[in-house]
Structure 1
Amino acid sequence: MTMEASLLEQLLASAERAQGRGSRYVARIRLKGDPGYAGLGFDAREALHAQMRIAERRGAVTLTWSRFGGEDRRLDAVVLADIEALASVLGRRSLSGAVRVASDAFAPWVERVPALASVLAAWKAAKRVRGHGPEKHADFVDAARVVAHMQSRIEDAVVRAVSIDLFGDSKRIEEIVPLLDALTAESIAAAASHWEDVLANLGLRKAPSPFLLAGRGRVHLIESGWRDLAYEYLAVSPTQVDGFEGMIEWVLLVENLTTFDLCAKARPDREGGLVLYTAGMPSPSWRRACEAVLSGLGEHIPVYHWGDIDVGGFRIAASVARAIYPRTLRPWLMDSRSLRDIARTSPASLTERRKMARSAGRAGWPVLAEHLASPASVLLEQEAVPVCFPAVALPS
Structure 2
Amino acid sequence: MVRRFTEANELLNDLLDRYEGGTANPIAHPDYDAFPNVVTADLFLRQIARAEAVGAVSLARGRGTRRDQIVHVRLQAADPLYHYLGRVPAAQIAQDAGKRLCADIALDWRLAEAASAIAENWKRAKSWHGFASSDVDKLRDAFSLAQAILENRHLDVDYRTFSRRVVGDSKALERVEGAVVRLLGGILELPPGARPREALRTIGLERFAPPLLIAGRIDLDGADLSQISPRYLGIPPNEADRIRFRRPPAYLLSIENFASFNRHVAEADPDRLGATMYVGGYPSLATQQALRTIAEMVSGNTPIFHWSDIDPDGTWIFHTIERAVGRPIRPHLMSVEIAERSGQVPLRKAAPARCPADSGIAVLAAYLAGDGAKTLEQEELNPVLPDPTGPP
| Common fold: TM-score over 0.5 | yes
- One of 83, 97, 100 as aligned partner of 1:101: 97
Deviation at 1:56, TM superposition (A): 6.7
Whether the aligned pair in 1 keeps the contact of 2:258 and 2:280 (CA below 8 Å) is yes
Whether the aligned pair in 2 keeps the contact of 1:213 and 1:274 (CA below 8 Å) is yes
Q: In the alignment, what sits opposite 2:186?
A: 186
Deviation at 1:138, TM superposition (A): 3.0
**CA RMSD for the aligned pairs?**
5.0
The answer on 1:62 being equivalent to 2:66 is no
Q: In the alignment, what sits opposite 1:380?
A: 377
Q: Which moved more, 1:194-203 or 1:177-186?
A: 194-203
Q: In the alignment, what sits opposite 2:321?
A: 320
Q: In the alignment, what sits opposite 2:291?
A: 290
Q: Which moved more, 1:36-45 or 1:97-106?
A: 36-45
Q: 1:274-330 CA distances to partner (integer Å, 9 max, x unpaired)?
A: 4333221112222333344445667776542201335654443354345456x4443
1:142/1:202 Cα in 2 relative to 1: closer, same or farther (>3 Å)?
farther
Report the 3-state secondary structure (helix = DSSP H, G, I; strand = E; otherwise coil) of the residue aligned with 2:58: strand
- One of 25, 28, 39 as aligned partner of 1:28: 25
Whether the aligned pair in 1 keeps the contact of 2:249 and 2:302 (CA below 8 Å) is yes
Q: How does 1:231-242 map to 2 (within 5 A)?
A: 233-241=232-240
Q: Which moved more, 1:89-98 or 1:250-259?
A: 89-98
Give the AA of the match of 1:367.
V
Deviation at 1:336, TM superposition (A): 7.0
1:383/1:44 Cα in 2 relative to 1: closer, same or farther (>3 Å)?
same
Report the 3-state secondary structure (helix = DSSP H, G, I; strand = E; otherwise coil) of the residue aligned with 1:82: helix
Structure 1: distance between partners of 2:203 and 2:7 = 47
Whether the aligned pair in 2 keeps the contact of 1:305 and 1:330 (CA below 8 Å) is yes
Whether the aligned pair in 1 keeps the contact of 2:32 and 2:41 (CA below 8 Å) is yes
1:62/1:340 Cα in 2 relative to 1: closer, same or farther (>3 Å)?
closer
Structure 2: distance between partners of 1:96 and 1:329 = 55
1:2/1:324 Cα in 2 relative to 1: closer, same or farther (>3 Å)?
farther
The answer on 1:7 being equivalent to 2:11 is yes
Unaligned residue ranges in structure 2 (runs of 5+) = none
Q: How does 1:269-284 map to 2 (within 5 A)?
A: 271=273, 273-284=274-285
Report the TM-score, using the length of structure 1 for normalisation: 0.67
Structure 2: distance between partners of 1:362 and 1:260 = 25
The answer on 1:86 being equivalent to 2:82 is yes
The answer on 1:367 being equivalent to 2:363 is yes
1:375/1:64 Cα in 2 relative to 1: closer, same or farther (>3 Å)?
closer
Whether the aligned pair in 1 keeps the contact of 2:211 and 2:235 (CA below 8 Å) is yes
Q: 1:95-150 CA distances to partner (integer Å, 9 max, x unpaired)?
A: 44234224314334562795364044134143532233222223323434655676
Whether the aligned pair in 2 keeps the contact of 1:178 and 1:192 (CA below 8 Å) is no
The answer on 1:111 being equivalent to 2:107 is yes
Deviation at 1:254, TM superposition (A): 1.4
Structure 2: distance between partners of 1:109 and 1:382 = 47
The answer on 1:143 being equivalent to 2:147 is no
Q: 1:210-258 CA distances to partner (integer Å, 9 max, x unpaired)?
A: 2344447899xxxxx8999976555433334579998677532211234
Whether the aligned pair in 1 keeps the contact of 2:214 and 2:233 (CA below 8 Å) is yes
Q: Which moved more, 1:8-17 or 1:257-266?
A: 257-266
Report the 3-state secondary structure (helix = DSSP H, G, I; strand = E; otherwise coil) of the residue aligned with 1:28: coil
Give the AA of the match of 2:332.
W
